[in-house]
Amino acid sequence: MSFEIIDHDLHGRIGKLYTRHGIIRTPTLAPVINPLRSPFPLEFFEKKFKVDLVITNAYIIWKNYGEKAIEKGIHELLGLNVPIMTDSGAYQILEYGYIDVDPDFILRYQKVIGSDIGVILDIPSGAGGTKYSVEWSVKETLRRARRAKMLWDIDGQGMLLVAPIQGGTRLELVEMSARSVASLNYDIYALGSPTQIMENYDFETLVDMMATARSHIPITKPMHLFGAGHPIMLSLAVALGYDLFDSASYVLYARNGRYILPEGTLRIENITKELPCECPICSNIDIESLKEMPEEEKVAKIAQHNLYVIMREIKLIREAIREGTLMRLLELRSRAHPLLYRAYRRLRKYIRLLERCDPITKPEVRGLFIFDGHTVHVNPKIVRYKEWLMERFFTNRQYAILLPAPSVKPFSIDPRVRNFLNKLEDKGIYPELCDILFYSEVFNLVPIELCEVYPLSQFEKGEIGHVKEELEDLIEYIESFIRRRKYRKTFIILSKKWPLRFFRELSSKGVEVLEGKLEKALERIERSIVLS
């Protein structure tokens, strides 16, 4: 076993990936190292940033060091003792269209230089290829993956092997690629060719690609997302089941004068008063001094700040998984950019994938934060509850009374609700004859017996409002619920928040809709039950 899952939330997992040079805690980000041009000493990655994994390019190592890397080993060559992942040179194919290396050779080269994790030399699909060219890249990558696995089964012990999934933006080809390589039982799988998509901020398409690939890879296998390094979108990728990331963004942004923050990016020349960060770099320098530094020194400082921010986000994501608040972090980050928010809303299409690893509960759970109507449709805990209630809640009672959910939680302790229930008990209507349920735009229906169960009282919500789509879902849910239970009669008591116009459709289907105060509603309920 090379990958052990410790905890999970949504499809995000905290795990341990076992390698020859130590354990990698996931989710994690591997900073991309170019040994020929690093903005600061390579030892900083291990001693200052304490990263669990770094990644470098085996093709560049071979072109510049050749046999020397074999003699010394990649760890001695870089002066690091942490696990090292090597890419095969496929990125150079994406950039330049060709590299002069044999797939079998570069695979063996990664092994003999002592890589902990190696990647086969695949053919990137890219973002703008024709259907023919993308299909060819998928088939050629699959052919190479089969051959690499055959070679690895013979003499490949020691190095974990990564199989990239290709297909670009053509989801049917991504699915075909994922299904095919999943049968080969690689140690790690990776989504290839996302870089151009991320550069264009096309996060909706990225969600489709990530979800399609992840859906067809076994839960027990870790997934890598190439080229993902900005903290703004890492929680989204983790929520969809991605465990490993790599990026050179920390230094590429720095060379362009871009200062990374969890919510976005600032340009150094536009910062005039103070650096909005308290990392070890920003705590010991002011903006004026930073701007006046020689260019290489300034790049080194900004690159270190950027990497501190990215690694902090990784730690924050791991803690959110432990606490069960990954959805909360994801929603906060998604509101930092309109296109990212559209991608977050896209998760509704992949609710089954989010729920695949999502725990039902945890020993110490945090309440849900419901920001708007979209949360209701993308949070697996809410969606799962609605399905369970529809499928599993059955009683022998003949009538149902639906009350508007009060603001007090749990709903059953609201004084007006208690008074109403007492009067129902006095008249022998409740609990013998009637189910009491609360309706709202969050959980749709909550039986009074369950209103204290997590998360039915453990949530805070903003003003969702009566969005047409949410209202239609609620009406459809109530109609289906009462139809399946075959109540002799159902009563819906309205409030100022829920006037008759919202429930006119139900009132025309044999449901008695009651307006006014609870006392008056009680009289009509009693009369209807007696007459029936």
Residues 6+ apart with CB under 8 A from 77: 35, 61, 65, 68, 69, 113
Q: What is residue 363's DSSP assignment?
A: S
- pLDDT for residue 271 is more than 80: yes
User: Exactly one of 7, 9, 52, 87 is catalytic; which is it?
Assistant: 87
Residues 6+ apart with CB under 8 A from 159: 20, 110, 111, 115, 116, 117, 118
Classified as helix, coil or strand, 223 is: strand
Write out the two tokens for 59: 């093709």
> What number of CA atoms fall less than 13 Å from residue 148's CA on the CB side?
33
Sorting pLDDT into bands at 50, 70 and 90, what band is 466? Answer: low
In the chain, residues under CATH classification 3.40.50.10630 are: 370-531
- pLDDT for residue 500 is more than 90: no
**pLDDT reported for residue 472:** 80
Report the alpha-carbon distance of residue 382 to residue 371 in Å, rounded.
13
Residue 460 CB neighbours (<10 A)? 10
Give per-residue pLDDT as tens, 39-83.
999 999 999 999 999 999 999 999 999 899 999 999 999 999 999
How far is C-alpha 225 from the geometric centre of its chain's CA atoms?
Answer: 12
Residues 243-254: what's their mean pLDDT? Answer: 94
Report the alpha-carbon distance of residue 37 to residue 454 in Å, rounded.
53
Report the alpha-carbon distance of residue 465 to residue 6 in Å, rounded.
39
Residues 436-445: what's their mean pLDDT? Answer: 92
Q: Are 18 and 4 in contact (CB under 8 A)?
A: yes
How far is C-alpha 228 from the geometric centre of its chain's CA atoms?
Answer: 13
Report the alpha-carbon distance of residue 294 to residue 286 in Å, rounded.
15
Give per-residue pLDDT as tens, 134-187.
999 999 999 999 999 988 876 667 899 999 999 989 999 999 999 999 999 999
Residues 372-377: what's their mean pLDDT? Answer: 85
Strands of the sheet containing 489-493, edge to edge, are 444-447, 434-440, 399-404, 489-493, 512-514
Give per-residue pLDDT as tens, 200-230.
889 999 999 999 999 999 999 999 999 888 9
- pLDDT for residue 118 is more than 80: yes
| Alpha helices (runs of H) in 262-403, residue ranges in sequence order | 287-292, 295-323, 326-334, 338-346, 351-355, 373-378, 380-392
Classified as helix, coil or strand, 511 is: coil
Please report where in the chains the tokens 């007006």 appear, as a residue. 416
- pLDDT for residue 530 is more than 80: no
**pLDDT reported for residue 510:** 72
> What number of CA atoms fall less than 13 Å from residue 266's CA on the CB side?
18
Average pLDDT, the chain: 89
In the chain, residues under CATH classification 3.20.20.105 are: 3-355
State the sign of the Cα–Cα–Cα–Cα dihedral 267, 268, 273, 275: positive
Report the alpha-carbon distance of residue 127 to residue 342 in Å, rounded.
20
Pick the CATH number of 3-355 from 1.10.10.10, 3.50.50.60, 3.20.20.105, 3.40.1050.10: 3.20.20.105
Which CATH superfamily is 370-531 part of?
Uracil-DNA glycosylase-like (3.40.50.10630)
The interaxial angle of helices 203-215 and 231-239, nearest 10 deg, is 30
The interaxial angle of helices 231-239 and 295-323, nearest 10 deg, is 30
Q: Among this protein's residues, is 87 annotated catalytic? A: yes
Residues 432-442: what's their mean pLDDT? Answer: 91
Residues 408-426: what's their mean pLDDT? Answer: 90
